[in-house]
Amino acid sequence: MSTASTPSHLPVEMSDRLGPMLVKELRQGLRTKIFLTAFIGFQAILLLMVVASFVSQGGSASGDFLNNAIWIMLVLMLIVVTPIRGQMALEKEIRSGTLELLQITRLDAWTIVRGKWVALMGEAMLYLTVSLPYFTLRYFLGGVHILTDLGLLALLALFSCSLTAMVIGLSGFRSVLLRIAVALGIATLVPFTISFIAMLRSPYGFFRTLSTTTFADWWPILLGLVIALIVAGWSLLRLGARTIATQAENHSTGVRLLTLVAMAAIVLLDRFAISPTSAFGDDFEAIFILFAMMIYIPGIFSAITDNALHSSLIYIPFIRRRLTPLGRRLLYPGWSSGIFYVALITSMLLGLRMFFEHTEEGITLTLIILNFLLLPAAVSRLLMSKRQIRLLNLSSYIITMVGISIASIVLFITEAALTRGDPTLSALFPLSALIGWDMLDDEMTLGLQFLCLLVSAAVLIPIAIQSFLFIAHRERAARKLFNNEKVAPESDPKPHPKDTGS
Amino acid sequence: MTTSTPAIEVSNLTRAFGKVRAVDGLSFQAAAGEVVGFIGANGAGKTTTMRILATLDSPDSGTAKIGGHDVADRPEQVREILGWVPDAFTAYENLTVAEYVDFFARAHGYSGGERRNRIEDVLGFTGLDKLADRLANKMSKGQTQRLCLCRALLHDPQVLILDEPAAGLDPQARVELKQLIRILADDGRTLLISSHILSELGEMCDRLIFIDAGKLLHDGSAEDLLRGAASDRTLVDIRVVPGSGDPTTTLELQPGVEIVEALRSGTRVSLDDDSPEALARLLKQLVGSGLHVTGFHTIERNLDETFIKMLGKANGSVETSPVSTSIPPAR
């Protein structure tokens, strides 16, 4: 190939330490009209607020006004603008056909997704950085608790990281319903986050008690929240990677292992880290159920909706590590192993709750959530043709879930009206059982939810076994490949320049 | 890849989408340094086969190998030696040509000065160095296609798969693309090219592979194909002065002659004997019957006609009738 005689205008150099995807996303993202408008608008509004606070009021009142303005603007930038920018991240690559060009490079799906996420986080950090002069200005007006504000900034940044990861992870699905749900979810989070920040910044708030003895009550919640946010964000980001991955990539095993470890950590925190004399009493229990669900739901969703088949290549690491058949069955990617994984993790959760002598309500609630996820899987499997039985159909799963939810709500309303507020059948279906929680008999709900779980299991487990038998064929091929590798490791036909270090 | 190993090796490849078999037991090979044209009607299975070869899809059965590496079992090794130009290509927004190429160079593992040299090389080769500062998504179709080729060449692949690279290009861009392909072929690379412009493929390719309904119809050189078609029957256009008589009656009486099409001032016939003696005999008969013959020449079959004829045979029908040149009169 001829070499160019005239030097071309090469792009401004960016460090090789930054990943290719990050470099590309930063170059693209920082030039988009949305970012430029949001960035300039953010600065302009803050500047306007500073001027307004000095002109109209004075002293600590103007300080509070400016404080509120900065926090509201930051929440909007980090919780709304940044995640929304990631809403089309993967779908755009799929739709335009550029994803295939990436797949034939050395980039794997995780590198692609992670690069997009880090780039958006870079933009979020820019918003944070440019707000610092305003925080400094606010400091000179007095009445600022530095530790509180720093702690809150860190928490807000973590929340933004997790939320953006979740949105990017879900951006690979081409469901309009999901898009609307995500947008509504983000919209709902804004007032929640603002009031959450206001609560934490109050004189009795969490960060102002750091130096007091009540910190012993708070730290498990903080740790639980950090674990839940990280795991939920990471699991959904991995789910996004899975939606764009080739059959030779495994993005499931890591999520399963992390979910197991995080669930164990949350249970341990709940059991052993909370002071029995805590002033918060049962509130801790509710908060830890919320954290557990933040970890449990993405993990279970990922396992149930996993691809049915993968390339033989992904089984090689399992063969190399000499995992036991049971270990392989649980950690292999694929929805069939996912069903067994769901069974294991849920049994562990229920077992632990029973072991710690918790109330029936906790167990019923866990069953309801499990059935909410498993019943649509069972129904959608039943609706599939025999030919499709080994294949994933995520869309049909989500549609079935929405259909069952609507049917449950209709059932509950009808039954409540017919029985004059004394429904019974509603206890069988997860969503109607949840809505009619106060009206339904506790023992009956528990029993019917167990029945619902058994029905789902009766449908799913035989198909999972059938699917396993099919996977065994791939496993044999993988073993053959592995043995071939051991006998004669194939060398790269043309060593890549990077590998030769030239 | 050793010289004895075929650069591309497809064996009994099958891929179905639901009930439709897009590729059905397809087998062919391409030697190192060979330029192979891949021809088929829309939906014949070309793109599916090419996507499997590019490790973007998996076969249901059979094997596909690039440089001796199975695309299903060793996709990473295949990607190291394979360049892929898809039929539809969209460049990223808000990136210049140089930044676009820089991104893919990084994605292929190049770093530092080596990356810069490589980018300059491929931009220069594809003639995009002067457009390096232009936005990649604001270029003409021809320039975009060159950018796609530029990207595919970044990691110096030995095998290139080009799906409809000339589609939508203007004549000049087509000529430029043809020149680039020729240089790449002279450089010893193996190219598998699909296109609808068969005459161009005939000029560019060492071999042509025709497929239909996912099955192989023909595998050989363009010359072999045309020779095969020519030995079948010869087409002759006969033109007479209007009003000097109807040649149809005379022609119908000649042995081995079959009327194919009525022209405005003559007829197109098909002969089973293309020897000069047979042609001279026919001309003599026409002149002898009092017709004022103004034109008498044989028509060489081109690849398009051969392809259509081959499709007709594969589908069990007789040679496709040409479109009528006259509109039936109103009743």
Mean residue pLDDT across chain B: 83
How far is Cα B237 from Cα B231, in angstroms, rounded to an integer?
17
With respect to residue B106, please indicate whether it lies within any of the assigned structural domains: yes
**Residues B125-158 pLDDT 10s:** 888 888 888 999 888 888 898 899 999 999 999 9
Is A9 part of the contact surface with chain B (CB cutoff 8 Å)? yes
Structure-model confidence comparison of residues A296 and A271, the more confident one: A296
Whole-Å CA distances, A488 to A107, A287, A474, A483, A484? 26, 55, 21, 9, 6
Instruction: Give the chain A residue whose CA is nearest to the CA of B152.
Output: A101
Q: Are strands B8-17 and B20-30 parallel, antiparallel or unpaired?
A: antiparallel
B108 touches chain A (CB under 8 A): yes
Tell whether B198 and B291 lie within a shared domain: no
Q: For residue B205, which of B1, B11, B39 has the smallest C-alpha distance?
A: B39
Taking the C-alpha atoms of residue A15 and residue B80, their distance in angstroms, rounded to an integer, is 24
Three-state DSSP at B52 gives helix
Mean pLDDT over A332-360 rounds to 74
DSSP symbol at B53: H
For the stretch A163-196, pLDDT in tens is 999 999 988 887 777 777 777 777 777 777 777 7
Write down which residue in B189, B220, B251 finishes a domain: B220
Within an 8 Å CB–CB cutoff, is residue B127 touching chain A? no
Burial annotation A187-209 (CB, 10 A radius, 16+ → b, else e): eebeeebbebbeebbeeebbbbb
Place of tokens 């394979």: B82
Distance CA(A448)–CA(A429), nearest Å, equals 8
Instruction: Name the pairing type of β-strands B207-212 and B35-39.
Output: parallel
Confidence (pLDDT) at A493: 40
**Of residues B193, B195, B150, the one with CA closest to residue B30:** B193
Quick one: closest CA in B to A387, which residue? B18
Q: Does residue B26 sit in helix, strand or coil?
A: strand
Question: Does B91 fall in a domain?
Answer: yes
SS3 state at A455: helix
Provide the pLDDT for residue A279: 55
Q: B297 burial class (0-12, 13-18, 19+ CB within 10 angstroms)?
A: exposed
Residue in A1, A11, A104 closest to B99 by CB: A11
pLDDT given at position A435: 84
> What value does the mean pLDDT take over residues B13-32?
90
pLDDT band at A356 (very low <50, low <70, confident <90, very high): low
Q: Is residue B109 part of a domain?
A: yes
What's residue A62's pLDDT?
Answer: 64
B232 and B216, same structural domain?
Answer: no
Predicted confidence (pLDDT) at residue B203 exceeds the cutoff of 70:
yes
Q: At what angle do helices A109-140 and A89-96 cross, to 10 degrees?
A: 140
**CA–CA distances in Å: residue B157 to residues A26, A45, B15, B150, B151:** 28, 52, 26, 11, 11
Q: Output the average pLDDT for chain A.
A: 79
Interface residue A33 vs chain B (CB under 8 A): no
Residue B64 has pLDDT above 60, yes or no: yes
Residue B263 resides in a domain: yes
* pLDDT value at residue A500: 34
Query: Residue B86: its chain A contacts at CB < 8 A?
Result: 97, 100-101
**Same domain, residue pair B119 and B238:** no
Q: Is B153 in the same domain as B196?
A: yes
From chain B, pick out residues whose CB is under 8 angstroms from the CB of A27: 94-95, 99, 103
Strand partners, A404: none
Which pLDDT does position A490 carry in this prediction?
A: 44
Question: Is the separation of the CB atoms in A104 and B55 below 8 Å?
Answer: yes
* Alpha-carbon torsion angle A181, A184, A190, A196, nearest 10: -60
Residues of chain B with Cβ-Cβ distance to A103 below 8 Å are 55-56
Residue type present at position A220: P
pLDDT beyond 70 at B50: yes
Among A1-10, A462-471, B1-10, B211-220, the minimum mean pLDDT is found in A1-10
Range of the domain at B309: 228-314
Chain centroid to CA A88: how far? 16
Per the structure, how many domains does chain B have?
2
pLDDT at residue A228, rounded to an integer: 93
The larger pLDDT score, comparing residue A282 to residue B221, is at: B221
Three-state SS letters, B141-163: HHHHHHHHHHHHHCCCCCEEEEE
Are B114 and A502 inside 8 Å of each other by CB?
A: yes
Tokens 């399992």 locate to: A318
Average pLDDT for B257-265: 74
Rg of chain B's alpha carbons, rounded to an integer?
Answer: 25
- Do B188 and B147 reside in the same domain of the chain? yes
Question: Tens digit of pLDDT for each residue in A298-332?
Answer: 888 888 888 776 777 788 888 887 777 777 777 88
Most confident of B102-116, B161-175, B193-207: B102-116
- Kindly report, residue by residue over B98-109, the tens digit of the pLDDT: 999 999 999 999
In whole angstroms, give the CA distance from residue B269 to residue B236: 5
> Could you report the per-residue pLDDT of B278-310, keeping only the tens digit for each?
888 888 888 888 888 888 888 766 667 677 776
B86 touches chain A (CB under 8 A): yes
Q: Is A173 helix (H, G, I), strand (E, B) or coil?
A: coil
* Domain CATH for B215: 3.40.50.300
Query: Rounded to whole angstroms, how far apart are CA atoms B63 and B38?
Result: 18
B327 is a domain residue: no
B25 and B165 share one domain: yes
Between CA A34 and CA A124 the distance in angstroms is 13
Residues B232-238 have a mean pLDDT of 77
φ and ψ at residue A60, rounded to 5 degrees: -70, -30
Which CATH number do you get for residue B309?
3.30.70
- Judgement on whether residues B190 and B290 belong to the same structural domain of the protein: no
Q: Is the pLDDT of residue A105 over 70?
A: yes
More confident: A322 or B218: B218
Query: Which secondary structure element, helix H or strand E, spans residue B17, and what is its range?
Result: strand B8-17
Give pLDDT, residue B322.
41
Q: For the segment A120-156, what is each residue's pLDDT rounded down to a tens digit?
A: 999 999 999 998 888 888 777 766 777 778 888 898 9
Find the mean pLDDT for residues B174-197.
87
Maximum average pLDDT range among A197-211, A392-406, A443-457, B294-308? A443-457
Distance from CA of B164 to the nearest CA of A (A): 15
Is A10's Cβ below 8 Å from some Cβ in B? yes
A107 part of contact set with chain B, CB < 8 Å: yes
Q: Is residue B325 part of a domain?
A: no
Flag if A1 and B153 touch (Cβ within 8 Å).
Answer: yes
Instruction: For residues B203 and B237, state if they share a domain.
Output: no
- Give A206-210's long-range contacts (Cβ < 8 A, gap of 24+): A206/A151, A207/A145, A207/A147, A207/A148, A207/A151, A207/A152, A208/A145, A208/A148, A210/A147, A210/A151
Rounded to two decimals, the ipTM of the complex is 0.78
Q: Does B210 share its domain with B257?
A: no
Tokens at B323, concatenated: 């479109």
Task: Tell me which of A332-336, B64-68, B153-157 is least confident.
Answer: A332-336
- Are B179 and B233 contained in the same domain? no
Digit-coded pLDDT (tens) for A43-92: 999 888 888 877 766 556 666 777 788 888 888 999 999 999 998 889 88
Domain termination residue (choose one: B196, B220, B244) = B220
- Look at residue A33 and give its three-state secondary structure: helix
Residue A212 to residue A210: CA distance in whole angstroms: 6
Q: Which residues in B lie closer than 8 A to residue A2 (C-beta atoms)?
A: 124-125, 183
For residues B321 and B72, the model is more confident at: B72
Q: Across-strand partners of B235?
A: B270, B299
User: Do residues B254 and B292 share a domain?
Assistant: yes
Residue B55 confidence (pLDDT): 92
Best to test chain B binding among A2, A8, A102 (most B CBs inside 10 Å): A8
**Which residues contact residue B164 at a Cβ distance below 8 angstroms, ignoring those fewer than 6 apart?**
B87, B194, B195, B196
DSSP secondary structure letters along A189-215 = HHHHHHHHHHHHHSTTSSGGGTTSTTH
Give Cβ neighbours of residue B49 (< 8 Å, ≥ 6 apart).
Answer: B10, B13, B15, B23, B26, B38, B64, B211
Radius of gyration of chain A (CA): 26
Q: What is the mean pLDDT of residues A287-294?
A: 82
Q: What is the dihedral of CA A217, A222, A227, A232, to 10 degrees?
A: 120
Token readout for A265 is 């950590």
> Across A182-186, A287-291, B6-10, B301-305, which has the greatest mean pLDDT?
B6-10
Q: Which of B220, B246, B263 is the last residue of a domain?
A: B220
Is 90 exceeded by the pLDDT of residue A17? no
Record: contact B77-A490, CB cut-off 8 A:
yes
Q: Do A4 and B56 lie within an 8 Å CB cutoff?
A: no
Question: Which residues are CB-neighbours of A464 under 8 A, at least 6 positions away?
Answer: A335, A336, A337, A339, A340
Dmax over CA atoms of chain B, in Å, equals 82
Provide the pLDDT for residue A12: 67
Mark whether B209 and B84 lie in a shared domain.
yes
Size of the A and B interface in Cβ pairs below 8 Å: 151
Confidence band for B192, pLDDT divided at 50, 70 and 90: very high
> Is B300 part of a structural domain of the chain?
yes
Q: Is residue B328 part of a domain?
A: no
